[in-house]
Structure 1
Amino acid sequence: MIGRVFNGRYRITERIGIGGMAEVYKAQDQTLGRIVAVKVMLPQYAADPEFAARFKQEAASAANLQSPYIVNVYDWGHDDGTYFIVMEYVRGTDLKSAILQRGAINQRKVAEIGSQVCQALSVAHNQDIIHRDVKPQNIMVQPDGNVKVMDFGIARAKNSVKSQTSSVLGTAHYISPEQAQGKELTGASDMYSLGCVLYEAATGQLPFDGPDAVSVAMKQVQEEPLPPSQVKPDISPDLEAIILKAMDKNPYNRFQTARDMKQALDDFLMGRPVNIAGAAGGFASAPTSVMGSVPGMASEAGGTAVMQPIGSDTGMKTNSYRGGNDIDMGKAKSKKRGPLIAVAAIAAIALIAALAFAITGGLGGGDKVPNVIGQTQEAAVQTIEKAGYTVGTVTEDYDAETVAGRVCKQDPEADSDLEKGGKINIVISKGVKKGSIPDLSGMTSEQAEKALKDAGLKAQYAGNEASDADKDTVSRQDPAAGKEVDEGTTVKYWISTGPEDTSVPNVVGSDQASAKAQLESAGFTVQVETGDYSDKYGEGIVMSQNPNGGKLEKGGTVTITVSQGQDPEKNKVTVPSVTGMSQSEAINTLLSCNLAYALDTASAGSGTPGTVAKQSVTAGKKVDSGTVVTIYVVPESSNSTGDNSNNSGNTPNTGSTTN
């Protein structure tokens, strides 16, 4: 896979992880010049239509989630039978690795991580997307300490056509009881999983463990977790209460929204009183349970199954997270007293509810403002008017926690007293405020920090690197310039140390084309010069280079000198003048000059017998060694015997003096 280019754009450079159905690779976006992460479906699943549909759904769902605490999805596609998703490349380490390396994490840091994860989940839940696989492996801790939630790999929108599948997905150590039994899920399931994550981060120990996934899942359904303070005694009672509320077996007793859980964690961090009971749901808000036919389960009126606490015969549970005289972490000390306490509690609650009805709504008392937070403007108007109120002003504002187009604020607040016919003002979210990332190229570190601050973004120096950029200026940034991002997004930048010195390869003896390609691939500029004739190097072969070896900065010039081959004049000889010489003298002269000869006595014409009357090649001309020069010799008398006796005609001779 290394070196492969997906869709002609994303070049794979290294593998950085593998999951249950996909591998994750680091890659270079050759169009935008940035580093990205590419998730590639494993081959055994690529041909499975169901897995392929889930993989594509992940990309579609995650691409719509915009938050500083969610890993961005840039692109997805299909290339040569393989599905892939292109995501933001996050530098840092996953929370699971941090826990394994360090053990229990500082509890304030645990609360900060939990608050940021809640904000990410709130964005998803507002779009009816449940993560379904919240675990420390999917929470990346960046160098600046902030986190990003990734891998909505098994997330599904509530209105998805596949939302009714009975497949149980997720990791056993972190799945909610209802997820373990394949029940329909709400955002409260993610709250339970996050509670397990915070439990492990705060104590360094999993809340439930076992020899296999099935045994762990059974414990999620049937067993209560050991209180964190019994694992790590110095843990804050408030943080313990938040974690245990999130991990309540009954989804109605947990935090009902990520916003509620975030509020509790923020109160803990700010040193404010943590109001667990008022955060969401609570005992009084849970529908009455009746015994179901499934052991360990109680059937709700709305069709959602709720787990029965262990040791309870009623399906109801007292919400207490700190020890008391009679109840320890929500468990009755006496099994016999449990049902009696539960029955008494139900009776008390019923009486309180009846009194409340009689005092307020039943007797025409003060009216309560409906909660329209998170609704579309149209739905909010209908809700307000249906409750007997009118809509006042409708304004817009940026809100990082509420998806654009939905109500993020209302005045008066929900559950406030307001006479019928009163006005309720609403604010519609414009989503997270976005800005364009400035181009930091050529800026100094100080200039880059100021430019990002002025743009409402956070700057993070990521280190030095050798590059073609001028020394001490920005060589690279991530995300790239011009991208629209949320206000407050962290932009990393690198400072150039100048071009990197690279070894110059030796290309002497290579042909010109190969030598040029080799040097250019090493990052050098090539200058070609024509050299002299050479017996050693053929025509077009590099006979020398400058510099030859050593180090040179990338982009530097290497000069190569190319041979012209052998000197064409080197083997040339000058034809001597043999006219007027005797035949033997002419022959010896030609042979001494490395020339061949031929005799012609028939065409010599008149002259002194036995002498050369003329020659075929003009004297003084340069010819190749071994060239035949015909000499025309005036014949002797008929009774004469001479050298022409065997060479009448034009037979060439290359050196035999007998001729």
Structure 2
Amino acid sequence: MAQQQNLLGGRYLLKDKVGAGGMASVYRAVDQVLDRTVAVKIMLPQYASDATFAARFKQEAQAAAGLSSPYIVGVYDWGKDGDTYYIVMEYLRGTDLKSGIRSHGALDPKKVAQIGSQICGALSVAHKHEIIHRDIKPQNIMVLPDGNIKVMDFGIARAKNSHLTQDNNVLGTAHYVSPEQTRGQELGPTSDIYSLGVVMYECATGKVPFDGDDAISVALKQVNELPVPPSQVNPNVDGDLERIILRCMEKDPANRFQTADELRRVLNSYLAGRTVDVPEPTRVIGAAGAGATTTRVMSDSTQAMARPVNTTSRPVGGAAAVNTQARQFDTSSYNTKPEGSGKGKIVAAVVAVVAVVAIAIFAVSGLFAPAEQVIIPAVVGMEQEVAEATIRQNGFEVGDVTPGASDEYPEGTVIEQHPTADGVQTAAKGSEIDIVVSSGPEEAATTKVPDLSQAENEEDARNMLIAAGLEAGSVTQEGSDTVEEGKIISQSPDANEEVEEGSKVDFVISLGPDTTPVPDLTGMTESQARNALTDAGFGMSRDEAYSDTVDEGYVVSWNPSGSQESGTEITVVISLGPEESEPETPTTPNTPDSPETPSTGEGSSDIDLTGMTKAEAERAIGAAGLTASFSYADGTQVGVDPDHVISWTVSGSTVSVVVAW
């Protein structure tokens, strides 16, 4: 396509298309300024001229760019080129989690918990920026070559303070959406936690908990049915992990883990082998989020919506009408007659069809007429009693009142409200406003630092830290004579020290014994040899010996050689020169009239050239008043170094010498 040749923003050269989503296509590209490969998301042409979609696309870039986490895909840049918008992101090599599950099936429980913990790390950062992802699913989780993950695609994420018009479309994928998302209600962090629970369920079992022929039937199961316990699908799933997953998937958001940090702490405890204090899941179905209090215990085979005590609902746009309509019928009351009663069956069937059709129509098109809308009052920062009075005075009801830790607001003060009052926002008159009341500053959770000296290698040490809810800090290397290569020499903070969760731990990895090559001392004087050894970190001891080949004061040999540990003492032998001997009776050189006295170099009484170089042999022959004649041969066969004498013969006044080449 022509667009592939574009140089977006005068900087990003598009290469090839690597993916596509509902609003945009993704290309691999080269950043020509920084010379690096990046991923560029480009809004589809049909949406580029739509102001609402353009605003959402721009908001995605701004929101995602503010998120910094090792578990979130980095956003580098964004802009507009001509009529289209684009976002520049980190280019990842790996595979999405969905493909991994399809290839390998159910994962090991510990791996499931590790993946869940890392996703929690990403969600924690997003939620602290008041951003709800809204589309947590395996397709949006990238598994990197090192086994870690990154959360992708904030394409339908929405910040809580967004002023974009809210519609009733059910966003996200039906297999992973929370019940409140299916109903079109206000979403919070617990909605992402529900979706994460579904992801962990699929990782642990290889199957999604709810499936159907179409998105609507699956979404209805999210609301009306309980999941089959993971251990019944995969017996390898232990009870602790099962309770964690099922608590994430509670129908009532209040019964789930309330923050990503809370869930992460529990998963890290599970990874570390500590006791996991998670209650058994609720095996009931109720009118979650609708103000109803009566629930009905469900069997594992048949699960339907329970009968509420009243029809009071919490409307959110058209959602109020749907939920009220569905809850006005109690399907269980129509099945009390004997099996032969056709009337009861007919009524129950009609009721079920009406309820399903009502919800389906809402989910697809949001056709129900909203109630009277009034402006939402802002109560954040008020004392609880004043806030509740203000809510009622403005035509609303006080919904759920939950405690929450806060460093900013004093105890007893409202720190959050749902729905929010940012800008000029409205909601149905008579609907509920939930508030979160400060319980004071949150006490930081602590954990014990693991003993990294027990780790097999760096990767093992990092996994131990993750399991303890900690992070690796500075990692350095140094030599050690006592710690095996690859093992941990030291750490800071120390093992078993109590620190805040999320703290960083520095550690030092052993390179093994610290060795250095002993320098070559050939041709050095004693002083030069001592300086060379000192500079290399060695000591020196002196020895001496006579030598016919090395001048006095120079190095004859040294031991040990090769690579040695720093500080090793090297014994250096210094030459005393040739050893003096008793004067010999001079011999008369052979003359042409005298018989020849050949020599092979062994025991010659005339001259001894053993161990000499060519030059030394030539000087010795000349000093004896003889004439030298040289030839060359391969010295390796007899173990003689190059340029040294192999053998010689004396014939008259001529000494024929064979020298190694």
Q: Give TM class, smaller chain.
A: 0.3 to 0.5
* TM-score, with structure 1 as normaliser: 0.47
* TM-score, with structure 2 as normaliser: 0.46
